[in-house]
Structure 1
C-alpha cells in the first residue's frame, strides 16, 4: 500500500549547475549526493516539505537517448501569489514562455517554464476555498 509521494527524478546534463539552479532559484538543499561507476545522483529537498524530494541523475555514459520531453511531464511548485512569484523569478532570470498565468481546473492559476536541463517546471497558485 502506498504511504506517500517519495521523489521525482530528473535526468541532468550538469550536476553542479543543476544543484546550484534549484538551490539559488527555489531554496532546495542537498540531502545526499554520490556516484557509482555509471552515474552521479543527488537528492534535493525543501525544509518546509522534506518528505518529497527531487532526485537528479547524471549518467556518465547514457544508455540510449532520453526523450526530450521525458516520461514525467513536469514538476510543479505551489506558490501563494502567482503574480508576485512570476515577478520574483523573472528578476532571477527565468523567462516564462507565456505572458500570463493560465487557469487550472480547480480555479487556481498556473504558469510553465523550463529548468536548466530543459525540464518542464510549473508554478501553481491554488484556488482559494
Structure 2
C-alpha cells in the first residue's frame, strides 16, 4: 500500500489555493468544478456529501515528489470553518499535515510575513537532526514544517 492523497476541506478555495501553492510550493496538477462533474455522477456525489443535489469544487495540488493534497470546497452542503477546538490536539482525527522543507528559517519568515497564525513563535527541535515549527492554514488546519538533517536521516 502507498500514500495517495489527503483531502482538506476548505471554506474558501480561492483563499486557500495560494496558501498551498505560493507559500508551500504545491503545484496545481488537476482542477475540477464538480456540479457534479467528471469524477462523480450526481447520485455518487450526493451519497459522498450526504445531501441531494450535492455540489463541490475540487483542486488537487502536488509537490515535486508527487505528494498530493485534495482541496475541496462544497457549495451544497456549504463548507464552513470548523471550530478551532476541533482542529487542535485533544480531539480525534487527523490533526496535522507535516511537510519536509529544505530551509525552515526561510519558510518560518515567509509564514510570519504573510501573517499566518503560528502555534509557537519559534523553531524548535523535536529530536536530534530535526528542526520544526507549527502554523495554521487559512481555515485553522495545523501544519508542521520539518527540516531534517540529510546527514542524520539520509533520503533514499
TM over 0.5: yes
* C-alpha separation in 2, matches of 1:108 and 1:124: 7
2:45 equivalent to 1:45? no
The answer to which of 96-105 and 65-74 deviates more is 65-74
- What's the CA shift for 1:120? 0.7
* Closer/same/farther in 2, CA of residues 23 and 81 from structure 1, 3 Å limit: closer
Aligned counterpart, 2:4:
6
Query: Which runs of 5 or more structure 2 residues have no equivalent in the other structure?
Result: 37-53
* Closer/same/farther in 2, CA of residues 39 and 107 from structure 1, 3 Å limit: same
* C-alpha separation in 2, matches of 1:26 and 1:103: 20
Higher Cα radius of gyration: 2
Aligned counterpart, 1:83:
105
* Closer/same/farther in 2, CA of residues 25 and 63 from structure 1, 3 Å limit: closer
* Closer/same/farther in 2, CA of residues 118 and 82 from structure 1, 3 Å limit: same
Structure 2 SS opposite 1:117 = coil
* Closer/same/farther in 2, CA of residues 89 and 63 from structure 1, 3 Å limit: closer
Alignment of 1:52-67 (within 5 A): 52-62=67-77
Higher strand share: 1
* Closer/same/farther in 2, CA of residues 82 and 38 from structure 1, 3 Å limit: same
Are the aligned partners of 2:130 and 2:146 in contact in 1 as well (CA < 8 Å)? yes
How many residues were matched structurally?
A: 125
* Closer/same/farther in 2, CA of residues 122 and 39 from structure 1, 3 Å limit: same
Structure 1 SS opposite 2:73 = strand
TM-score by length of 1: 0.80
- For the aligned residue pairs, the C-alpha RMSD in angstroms reads 2.5
Aligned counterpart, 2:29:
31
* C-alpha separation in 2, matches of 1:93 and 1:25: 12
- What's the CA shift for 1:82? 2.2
Aligned counterpart, 2:145:
123
* C-alpha separation in 2, matches of 1:40 and 1:105: 39
